[in-house]
């Protein structure tokens, strides 16, 4: 512990950001790095506490507490403070294959479980992680390291999202011949098409890592959908083992029976985000092959990271107005009594898209605004989609709900009388999460699924009911965090290696 008083003398300081009103004019990442000396000072805030909950990888109250990949956080925080950046990178890469991804898109459950965070703002763990790996790339410390010898075993990894890439990286490092199959035209899955470019740069960050994996010997095949372009039986015949990392891509549609659901202008969030990024990468939006929010009144139903990404994307298109609906109550500003440390703090968070919306639009005129200068409306339920004579969306009806008055035998809230409201909109994105993986592969292989339709495979073992077939990531655990996907991809690689070789040295 280089500075035993760092947490007492140094205040938390994070990256600055480009002005929201300025950055919405482009699709570039918007964080501005801190000077190295200030980053080292932030590393000194880590207390090297006796019980570092930051890297415990637990589930508490059904949410992540601590780092799912078990990063050695106190160690590399101290190395940053001492200026030993190369050694910090070595420690970081022991547990995380892709810190440049998690350092940008992870919600940082590690910080929610930071001991310092009990009474002070927590250590800037996520920022420190990103600083280490970005410097590693800049200094040329991160280079291709193909395995010294090959085992002769062939493994197919289906899906190239974070779990698939992590699994492929680990299996390749063990010497197996790994082929990754991806049905999209680019490698990366959620990382490539599910997260906007201003949050995770595709060429400078995602493709850079993919190119490194290819240089290490991983073979990537795009435009190949298992069960459509290549039968699952053929996959089993061609490879010694198969690891399914196909994600949870079936979107929830809680409005399937809501009047007007079939109107033109209502889209799932991932359809909106995927088409936007593909068009951006293909033609800088010149091909018009995306769902444009330009000059439209936009409503985003659902919150979370995906809802925020829909906000930021719509504003960059040039939408006329924007508001988001969440049926849940507004979270408190500080931890509630039933949400103690080290649980994930269920508090109100203002993300990049919310700041951009506040910079772009005046929300003071909205009736009954709960958060002045913020696009979010809480405790609000959509009751009907309104259309014009041509079947196009023109508006939406809502009511307010009161969560303090649950109905006996009914929903956990009561509709507030007289709260009916109509909102103009020509474009709606539903950011309502996912119900599980698509079932084509499961049906072809005869995989068992759990009650939520996820591929059945015990956590820690990852073996399905079909010999030689493993499952990891969202298709096994359900919709979750990128960092959990990396964790499962790494561990599934370990178990696959153990199956193939009888023993394993993978962590």
pLDDT over threshold 80, residue 371: no
The torsion of the CA quartet 262, 265, 269, 270, rounded to 10 degrees, works out to 90
Among 48-52, 118-122, 280-284, the least confident range: 48-52
Task: Name the residue with tokens 């699994």.
Answer: 167
Share of the chain above pLDDT 90, in %: 93
Query: For the chain, what percent of residues have pLDDT higher than 70?
Result: 99
In this prediction, residue 505 carries a pLDDT of 96
Q: Average of pLDDT values for 248-267? A: 97
Stated pTM of the model: 0.96
Burial per residue of 125-156, b for 16 or more beta-carbon CB atoms within 10 angstroms, e otherwise: bbbbbbbbbbbbbeeeebeeeeeeeebebbbb
Predicted confidence band at 58 (pLDDT cuts at 50, 70, 90)? Answer: confident
**More confident position, 335 or 372:** 335
pLDDT at 4 over 90: no
Of the candidates 78, 191, 214, 209, the residue with the CA atom closest to the CA atom of residue 137: 209
Buried b (16+ CB within 10 A) or exposed e, 255-283: beebebeebebbbbbbebbbbbbbbbbee
Delineate the domains of the chain, giving CATH numbers in brackets. 6-139 (1.10.1060.10), 154-248+434-501 (3.50.50.60), 253-430 (3.50.50.60)
Confidence bin at 364 (pLDDT 50/70/90): confident
What is the H or E stretch that residue 114 is in? none
The confidence band for 310, taking pLDDT boundaries of 50, 70 and 90, is very high
List helix spans (H) across 228-268. 232-238
Q: Which of 48-62, 78-92, 173-187, 489-503 has the lowest mean pLDDT?
A: 48-62
Q: Is omega for the bond preceding 342 within 30 degrees of 0, making it cis? A: yes
Q: Are 420 and 436 in contact (CB under 8 A)?
A: no
Backbone φ and ψ for 342, nearest 5 degrees, come out as -95, 25
- Interval 386-425: pLDDT, tens: 999 999 999 999 999 999 999 998 899 999 999 999 999 9
Q: Is the pLDDT of residue 367 over 70?
A: no
**Contact by Cβ (8 Å): 328, 301:** no
């Amino acid at each position: 512990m280089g500075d035993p008083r760092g947490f007492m003398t140094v205040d938390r300081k994070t990256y600055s950001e480009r002005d929201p009103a300025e950055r919405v004019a482009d699709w570039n990442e918007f964080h501005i790095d801190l000077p190295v000396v200030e980053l080292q000072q932030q590393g000194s805030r880590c207390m090297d506490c006796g019980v570092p909950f930051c890297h415990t990888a637990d589930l508490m109250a059904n949410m992540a507490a601590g780092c799912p990949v078990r990063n050695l956080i106190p160690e590399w925080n101290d190395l940053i403070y001492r200026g030993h950046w190369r050694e910090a990178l070595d420690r970081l890469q022991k547990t995380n294959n892709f810190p440049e991804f998690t350092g940008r898109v992870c919600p940082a459950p590690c910080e929610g479980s930071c001991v310092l965070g009990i009474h002070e703002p927590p250590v800037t763990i996520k920022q420190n992680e990103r600083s280490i790996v970005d410097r590693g790339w800049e200094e040329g410390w991160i280079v291709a390291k193909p395995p010294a010898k090959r085992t002769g075993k062939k493994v197919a990894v289906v899906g190239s999202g974070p779990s698939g890439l992590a699994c492929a990286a680990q299996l390749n490092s063990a010497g197996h011949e790994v082929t990754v199959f991806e049905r999209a035209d680019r490698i990366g899955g959620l990382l490539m098409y599910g997260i906007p470019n201003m949050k995770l740069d595709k060429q400078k960050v995602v493709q850079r890592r993919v190119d490194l994996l290819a240089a290490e010997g991983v073979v990537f095949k795009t435009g190949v959908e298992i069960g459509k372009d290549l039968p699952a039986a053929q996959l089993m015949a061609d490879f010694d083992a198969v690891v399914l990392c196909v994600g949870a891509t079936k979107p929830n549609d809680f409005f399937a029976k809501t009047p007007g659901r079939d109107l033109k202008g209502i889209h799932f969030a991932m359809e909106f985000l995927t088409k936007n990024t593909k068009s951006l990468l293909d033609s800088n939006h010149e091909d018009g092959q995306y769902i444009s929010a330009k000059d439209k009144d936009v409503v985003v139903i659902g919150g979370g990271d995906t809802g925020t990404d829909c906000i930021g994307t719509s504003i960059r298109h040039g939408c006329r107005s924007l508001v988001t609906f969440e049926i849940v109550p507004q979270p408190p500003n500080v931890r509630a009594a039933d949400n103690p440390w080290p649980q994930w703090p269920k508090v109100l968070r203002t993300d990049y898209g919310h700041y951009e919306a506040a910079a772009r639009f005046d929300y003071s005129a909205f009736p009954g605004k709960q958060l002045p200068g913020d696009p979010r409306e809480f405790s609000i339920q959509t009751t009907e989609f309104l259309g014009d004579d041509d079947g196009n969306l023109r508006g939406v009806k809502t009511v307010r709900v009161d969560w303090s008055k649950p109905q006996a035998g009914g929903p956990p809230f009561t509709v507030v009388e007289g709260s009916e409201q109509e909102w103009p909109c020509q474009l709606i994105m539903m950011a309502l999460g996912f119900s599980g993986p698509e079932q084509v592969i499961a049906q072809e292989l005869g995989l068992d699924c759990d009650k939520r339709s996820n591929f059945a495979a015990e956590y820690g073992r990852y073996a399905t009911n079909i010999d030689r077939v493993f499952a990891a990531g969202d298709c096994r655990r359900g919709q979750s965090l990128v960092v959990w996907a990396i964790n499962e991809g790494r561990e599934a690689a370990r178990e696959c290696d153990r199956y193939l070789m009888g023993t394993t040295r993978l962590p």
